[in-house]
Amino acid sequence: MRHNKFIYVLLCILCCILFTVAVGAGNGEAIKSHDNQYKNIALTFDDGPHPIYTERIIDILARHGVKATFFSIGENVNRHPEIIKRLSEEGHEIGNHTWSHRLIWKLGREGVVSELSRTETAINEICNLRPRLFRPPDGLNTIAIKEAAIEMDYSVILWTIDTRDWEQKTTSKDIVDNIMSNIHAGSIILCHDFVSRRDSQTPEAIEKVIPLLKEKGYNFVTVSELIHSS
């Protein structure tokens, strides 16, 4: 009996280890998707909060009953604390997208840790929460970035579908077509709630694409919920 119990405990420990490796939590390896049987997908937004576009996006998500994950820049969090607070209060997930977004690939581990720490502190002071997810700017996952993520116990999150909504030539139809052509269970969709272009096409696009995806049986979840889906 004791022998059987020991084997059972050992198998449980092994399963936990394999699960942790599979979702990439705290090991510095980037997660781009997570296959699951429930057709769960994650809608994500980078670079905000923005005083106009983030608010519009939150309103659209609320109308459709969708929760998303926002990878926020610390400088913008400081500029618009009321928006980041609203995101938290309405049940959206907030991730860390560094303090400044500037040339992070040039930084060593200490520099990346500093960028993450400043943003983490800003989010925590406003929302009383510590982000657990980190999306490196431009999707670069250098050795220094991996080391910083491991040190600070962050899961590094990239994406399956890049909508390229930041490009001046991208229309809302382009965004919708891109998503609908490439979507599958477990997809992580990259959008932006802050773009440098004159007018963001993202709010209009997500207003259109959410009902289309729901019709096809997809369920919108946060990234954390997605990577824990079976």
Quick check: 7 pLDDT over 50?
A: no
Quick check: 197 pLDDT over 70?
A: yes
Local structure of residue 219 (DSSP, 8 states): E
Report yes or no: 94 and 85 within 8 Å, Cβ to Cβ.
Answer: no
pLDDT of residue 26: 58
Listed residue (23, 166, 153) closest to 96, CA to CA: 153
pLDDT tens digits, 54-93: 999 999 999 999 999 999 999 999 999 999 999 999 999 9
Q: Which two tokens stand for residue 46?
A: 């980078």
Crossing angle, helix 109-127 and helix 81-89, to 10 degrees? 70
pLDDT of residue 15: 40
* Catalytic option among 34, 50, 101, 192: 192
Q: Where are the domains of the chain?
A: 26-227
Question: Could you say which of 3.30.450.30, 3.10.50.40, 3.20.20.370, 3.40.50.10190 is the CATH number of the domain covering 26-227?
Answer: 3.20.20.370
Listed residue (187, 138, 133, 192) closest to 160, CA to CA: 187
Helix (H) or strand (E) holding 127: helix 109-127
In whole angstroms, give the CA distance from residue 139 to residue 153: 18
Report yes or no: 154 and 116 within 8 Å, Cβ to Cβ.
Answer: yes
Average of per-residue pLDDT values in the chain: 90
Report residue 19's pLDDT band, with 50, 70 and 90 as the boundaries.
very low
How much is the average pLDDT of 112-124? 97
Q: Which two tokens stand for residue 190?
A: 């990259």
pLDDT of residue 14: 39
Local structure of residue 92 (DSSP, 8 states): -
Quick check: 22 pLDDT over 80?
A: no
46 catalytic per annotation: yes
Quick check: 9 pLDDT over 70?
A: no
pLDDT tens digits, 177-196: 999 999 999 999 999 999 98
How much is the average pLDDT of 200-223? 98
- Cis, bond preceding 49 (omega within 30 deg of 0): yes
* Catalytic option among 34, 46, 47, 165: 46
How much is the average pLDDT of 146-163? 97
pLDDT tens digits, 163-179: 999 999 999 999 999 99
